[in-house]
Amino acid sequence: MASWPTELIRIFKAAGGNNGIGDPELVDPYLFAEPIRITGGVGVQLINDTGSASVKGTVVEMSANLDDAVDIAAANATDPVGVILDDGVADGEIVTVMVSGYVQVLVGATPMVRKDRLVCGPSPGAVIPNNTPSATDHWKEVGHAGRSAAASTLVWAMIHFN
């Protein structure tokens, strides 16, 4: 089982428009072990609980089996939380999960064009376009396509979660 990094990061009080840079006053004494990674967006480091090595672009949800872990989002999931950044991270190891930003997302069986609204579809861990969503589809939303993409490929997308 993977262990968390030991170096701690402090969340600093945002003051004077500097977002806490150089401000030693803590908002609260929250300390956590390096879970944030910024690369084209914001990612957090969680445990891969998918049952296999990670696949870049896979949409994930929080694991029901393990604390601080993610699993592949179920078909038509209404609770996606992020997208796997890297291929090949072994099950049980720390994987980076992108939670916002411009990243590559796994496309399901339906091709898409730029600006399409992306939602969790019938293939676990993949998105489909849905530009006329129902109220329940709102909770499936992952983001918006930045480019056109064929089925079963990766699409660049601006991701966000509802």
**What is the distance, to the nearest Å, from the Cα of residue 25 to the centroid of all Cα atoms in its chain?**
30
- pLDDT per residue over 70-125, tens digit each? 999 999 999 999 999 999 999 999 999 999 999 999 999 999 999 999 999 999 99
Q: Is residue 106 part of a domain?
A: yes
Q: What range defines the domain where residue 98 resides?
A: 8-12+36-159
Q: List, in sequence order, the alpha helices (H) in 34-153.
A: none
- DSSP code of 125? T
Average pLDDT on 3-15 reads 34
Tell me how many domains the chain contains: 1
Task: Please report whether residue 23 resides in a domain.
Answer: no
Selected residue with higher pLDDT from 16 and 57? 57
pTM of the model: 0.77
What's the CATH code of the domain at 65?
2.40.300
For residue 28, being part of any structural domain is answered with: no
**Residues in a beta bridge with 120:** 127
